[in-house]
Amino acid sequence: MELVSWAFSDVDDMKRFLNITGDTQNDLLVNLINGSSSFMEMQTRRRLIAADYDSATDKANCWVDGNNSKIVFLKQYPINSVSSVVVSGATISAAEATDYYGSTGYVIYSDRGILFYDNGFDTGIQNVRVSYNAGYAKTTREYYELQELCRSLVSRVYNTRDKLGFKSETLMNYQYTMADIKAWDKAGNIQVVLNRYKRKITR
């Protein structure tokens, strides 16, 4: 049983957080970490942890329809780096000048997930193809906030599993719902964090 690549914690981290010794709960913790991390991504409608997206293999995240405008929105953000941009078969380089207007290269607006190209992105179906790295690196404030949220979700289910009436084998398959969060989160703190990271623009 393995952690998903977008997990915001690991077994040793959660054992320290929950003051657990021994290994008997390891499989359960893996499932709860995976469930919490997946729930966070489903609620925010985006991937959160920094990852590479390769246009050669990842159409969903890297292929964008051009619409003859100067900007395109990438599906994942913040954009940390871009390794290639191809528009209608032509490779576009990064802009070198600080005056972006009139530049023959693209410009990254990281937090908004935008590529700007003054010549415009040709109209076409999935004709803009971008390889890039996006998401929150483990050294960022946002990562630490989201990691703490994941720990809180795991801790809440783990510590109230008897009250919830779950046996270990059913708890391992437990899926969070917004009704669960509202029942736990009387002050709305969890929902506030989730809302702050929710995708605001349809991409």
Which three-class secondary structure state does DSSP give residue 23? coil
Mean pLDDT value of segment 28-44: 90
Tens-digit pLDDT profile for residues 50-67: 999 999 999 999 999 999
Tens-digit pLDDT profile for residues 1-13: 799 999 999 999 9
Q: Around 179, how many Cα atoms within 13 Å sit in the side-chain half-sphere?
A: 1
The mean of the pLDDT values for the chain is 87
The reported pTM is 0.85
Torsion 139-141-143-145 (CA) sign: positive
C-alpha closest to that of 151 among 7, 4, 5: 7
Range with the poorest average pLDDT among 47-51, 116-120, 179-183:
179-183
Gap between the Cα atoms of 45 and 57, Å rounded: 21
